[in-house]
Amino acid sequence: MSKLSSTLQISGSLPLIQRARGVQAGDEHAIPWLDLLTSAQRERALIDLRLVDALPGDAICKVGRPANYWFGVLDGLMKMSNDSSVGFSITFTGIPPGAWFGEGTLLKREPYRYNIEALRRTVVAGLPAATFNWLLESSIPFNRYVMNQLNERLSQFIAAREADRISDPDVRVARSLAALFNPVLYPLVGDLLRITQQELAYLVGLSRQRVNESLKALTAAGFIRVEYGGLQVLDLAALRRFGADRLL
């Protein structure tokens, strides 16, 4: 075993809280809401923020656990799912770079009702609940940012519920991809999402082979372009509308 592999194995065996570090040079550009704060607010947020390199399978949130942080994905990919111990495992959505989540649970002061797990090596940021609430009370721009997040996520889940009424796998893949390219919720994705077909299969709930067929169909339609290690969206509006006629 190489020295690097040994180090990663030891680091990965520690609890996430023990792997956490502070914000370093180069991290700030991946946290867009920092630019909305005053100098004093920004300074406190940077002091209180904690970052961790989550490994595949690491759980950031678990059903039933108390919510102590507001989380963001700076790099990598995560998934939100239900409690599989009470039945079938259901993946609600993928969480790509730029996503900040968990504000609803913090606002309601309730335990998590979902699991958040890393699908690959992912850099996750956590803002303590006390600092999150302080920013809500002291910053109108931060309030607007959180409000926009909640509103956009509500629209996303309504669209996902709508897509659930269609059994067509091509529609499921198209709608899932459209959700991952949401510029409001995931501003760091841009028009190129780093994702493998196997990771997309986990998120959509289909086999990798079936996802591959759907990607070929969406490519032929001119909606996306499959590139090495990722997908480029060519027509986001078309992806969002795909299959709408089948709801009538």
- Per the structure, the count of domains in the chain is 2
User: Is 243 domain-assigned?
Assistant: yes
CATH of the domain at 103: 2.60.120.10
| Range 51-78 burial, b when 16+ CB lie within 10 A, else e | bbbbbeebbbbebeeebebbbbbbbbbb
CATH of the domain at 189: 1.10.10.10
Angle between helices 140-163 and 169-180 (to 10 degrees): 170
Residues 37 and 147 grouped into a single domain? yes
Full residue range of the structural domain in which residue 56 is found:
10-156
**One-letter amino acid of 136:** L
CA distances 106 to 4, 72, 119, 133, Å, are 37, 14, 24, 9
pTM: 0.83
Cα gap 115→170, rounded to integer Å = 26
Cα gap 226→219, rounded to integer Å = 7
- Beta strand pairing call for 115-118 and 78-81: antiparallel
DSSP state letter for 21: B
Residues 150 and 172 grouped into a single domain? no
- Beta strand pairing call for 91-95 and 59-61: unpaired
Per-position pLDDT tens, the chain of length 248: 333 333 333 344 567 778 888 998 889 989 999 999 999 999 999 999 999 999 999 999 999 999 999 999 999 999 998 866 666 677 788 899 999 999 999 999 999 989 999 999 999 999 999 999 999 999 999 999 999 999 988 887 777 766 666 678 998 899 889 989 988 999 999 888 999 899 999 888 889 999 999 999 999 999 999 988 789 999 999 998 887 665 54
pLDDT of amino acid 109: 92
